[in-house]
Chain A
Amino acid sequence: MLYPQLLVYETDGLLAASLRPLAEERRWALREPRQLGACLRLLRRPHPAVLVLKIGADVIREMSLLERVRWLRPEAATVVVGDVENGALALLAWHFGAGYVLVPPQPRFLLPAVIVSLMEHSVSRLRPAAGRSTVGPGAAEPLGESLPEQEV
């Protein structure tokens, strides 16, 4: 079963802490990669995923991540969040393929709704060809399956 992944890339853990209740309520796996490589490895998995990227600490690194995600997994949605108004940076994030940019004056209160909507869209697009049964309510299956099936 491919569970949805909410990836939060930031330096201080504050954004992830604020999103943890949302992830728990929705039963998403909340991941907090601290390295670019770890983040990309998580995104290589076929799970539906939304990446929330906090920008401002290291713009080069953050834009590099955005550019790599766009290239490697274009269907993964990214939300770029910033604390300080910076129109140039916001435009750059859009250009590098962010699914949405919440940098002031864009209101931060939109963040949960944006994440939920992007994740639901990502889940709805997941097809059986990705390798596993899709996420979400599926057909009832008998309990008591003894061994895992050969991966299909």
Chain B
Amino acid sequence: MADQSDPPPPPRPAESPPFRWQAFLQHAREPLFLLNQHRRILGVNRAWEELTQVRTAAARGLVCTPRRPPSDQGVLDAIAAALCPPAEVFDGKPARVRRLLAGSGLPRQRWDVDFLPFRDGKGRLRVLGKISRSVREERETSPPLPERLAALRERLDQRYGLEQSVSTLPAVQRVATQGRLAAGSRVPVLIVGESGSGREWVARSIHHQGESRELHFAALNCAALPPAALASGLFGEGRLLGLPGVGTLFLKEIDRLPRDLQDRLAAWLADSPAAQPRLIAATAADPAEAVRTGRLLESLHCSLATLVISVPPLRDRVADLGWLVDRLLERIGTGEDKPVRDLTPAAWEAVKAYDWPGNLRELNSVLLTAVSRTQGDRIDVADLPAVVRRNGKAAAPPLRAAPVLSLDEILERVERRLIEVALRRAQGNKSRAAELLSVWRTRLIRRVEALGIADS
């Protein structure tokens, strides 16, 4: 039963929100620059200016090629040549190179330069560049993990590669591209998508592909936790904000965070030092609508929405259902003697026709249930829940004959059903339920315990 206070699903956007690259550059603390398809610098950020001692006005328009027409601007020549992207970047492939940067005010040393190609809202190729030290900064980390724990962590971390999405759908590929952009910096990210659509997977993927991958990821569900726990987790003694070792903090359903905590979080984002966990937030609501109705503080939204990633709902990913179901069945079947690997054609038709309002989470739940019911090595349409079958366009198959039950099993089912209905009618009051069933209260209590019935 849906929580009445759950926000309605956001209207499907005609297209993803445009990438606000100017805001992205300005909010990032790493030295960043943006190139067009002609290798011309479109913009740089303050950190880039401070590193190179070259102002934006002088940098804008520079063409980053190995050879430039001779000019008296030696420093600019050297910087432009050092920031020349390799050829594969213009084929859409990210790249990292090590370059010697030299110039007034610039320490003479090798720097890592990352190039991330992407398409802007008008389909034009753009390349985001980031400059970072080649020698990794010393970080305060926990002592090395025992080998088995390290292996366990490695196994978990390997599941979150953005390249693992084999979808060819533009909306999903856009998520992967934006995720790689996000992984290349530490700007806050806002992920918008329906519940169950894979927002946390995107957040973890950004973390595991970023520089802070060796640190930890922590997630708080603002809709599921009580305010006191959220306050303690965020700002209390063991707070996740500012705790060394936390690389990314993911706040799910950010519009459900209590108002006073939103206020404190916005203030923290404005005042926090460079060494912070990277913040990623998610919401199922339309952010603009949430701000308009007061569910989301505007100041917090502005801080978070430097990079907005829209995750498509499952109903818009029918083409992906095949490999998604395969992956989920493989996951469910791990460790089982006889894993179920496939669906019958009729079951596939029903799965493809269903709307999946609960998205990937619902798909996982349905497959879990179906696997537990199926008696063969394939899920049949009869193994699927009625709501999935009913929405399917395939003709309803004949119901399978119920398995043969013993008399005791049949009686136990009947008894359980009658007690559950009585308790529901009596709103949990056992005395009233016993009256409805015309039995002694003590007998009802004994049967409830014996049958393992829990009622609300």
Contact = CB atoms under 8 A, between A and B. Distances in A.
A3 B455 contact: yes
B156 A113 contact: no
A45 B361 CA distance: 14
Contact of B357 (A67, A113, A127, A144): A127
B208 to A, nearest CB: 11
A141 B232 contact: no
Contact of A110 (B219, B228, B365, B410): B228
A100 B428 CA distance: 30
B142 interface: yes
Contacts of A147: 410, 413-414
B402 to A, nearest CB: 7
Contact of B229 (A72, A95, A117, A140): A117
Nearest to A1: B420
B366 A72 contact: no
Given A103-B238, A129-B366, A113 B372 contact: no
A126 interface: yes
Interface stretch (B18-26, B108-116, B161-169, B381-389): B381-389
B349 interface: no
Nearest to A73: B368
A70 B245 CA distance: 21
B270 interface: no
Contacts of B155: 67
A150 B331 contact: no
A144 B386 CA distance: 23
Contacts of B225: 99-100, 114, 117-118
Contacts of A136: 1, 456
A64 B373 CA distance: 27
Contacts of A117: 224-226, 229
Contacts of B1: 123-124, 126, 134-136, 138
Contact of B385 (A104, A130, A137): A130
Interface stretch (B80-88, B90-98, B146-154, B289-297): B146-154
B447 interface: no
A106 B231 CA distance: 11
B223 A121 contact: yes
A59 interface: yes
B421 A145 contact: yes
Given A91-B142, A129-B362, A148-B414, A71 B331 contact: yes
B226 A75 contact: no
B3 interface: yes
Contacts of A135: 1, 456
B417 A148 contact: yes
B344 interface: no
B369 A99 contact: no
Contacts of B420: 1
Nearest to A77: B224
Interface residues of B, number: 81
Contacts of A118: 224-225
A90 B410 CA distance: 47
A105 B235 CA distance: 12
A60 to B, nearest CB: 5
A114 B68 CA distance: 63
A34 interface: no
Given A92-B216, A121-B223, A145-B421, A130 B369 contact: yes
A13 interface: no
A84 interface: no
Contacts of B456: 4, 26-27, 123, 135-137
B372 A91 contact: no
Contacts of A88: 142-143, 245
B221 interface: yes
B264 interface: no
Given A60-B148, A128-B387, A145-B418, A113 B229 contact: yes
B118 to A, nearest CB: 29
Contacts of B224: 77, 99, 117-118, 121-122
B156 A75 contact: no
A102 to B, nearest CB: 9
Contacts of A141: 421, 424-425
Contacts of A45: 372
A72 B332 contact: yes
A95 B436 contact: no
A27 B238 contact: no
A151 to B, nearest CB: 8
B245 A100 contact: no
A72 B224 CA distance: 20
Nearest to B201: A74
B197 to A, nearest CB: 13
A3 B425 contact: no
A14 interface: no
B365 A91 contact: no
Contacts of B200: 74
Contacts of B143: 88
A136 B148 CA distance: 42
Given A60-B146, A130-B385, A91 B364 contact: no
A38 interface: no
Contacts of A4: 454, 456
B453 interface: yes
10 contacts: A73-B368, A74-B200, A105-B238, A114-B226, A118-B224, A122-B224, A127-B357, A131-B366, A143-B422, A150-B402
In the complex, the 6 A-B pairs of residues with the closest C-beta atoms, listed nearest first: A3-B454, A152-B386, A121-B224, A94-B218, A124-B3, A105-B237
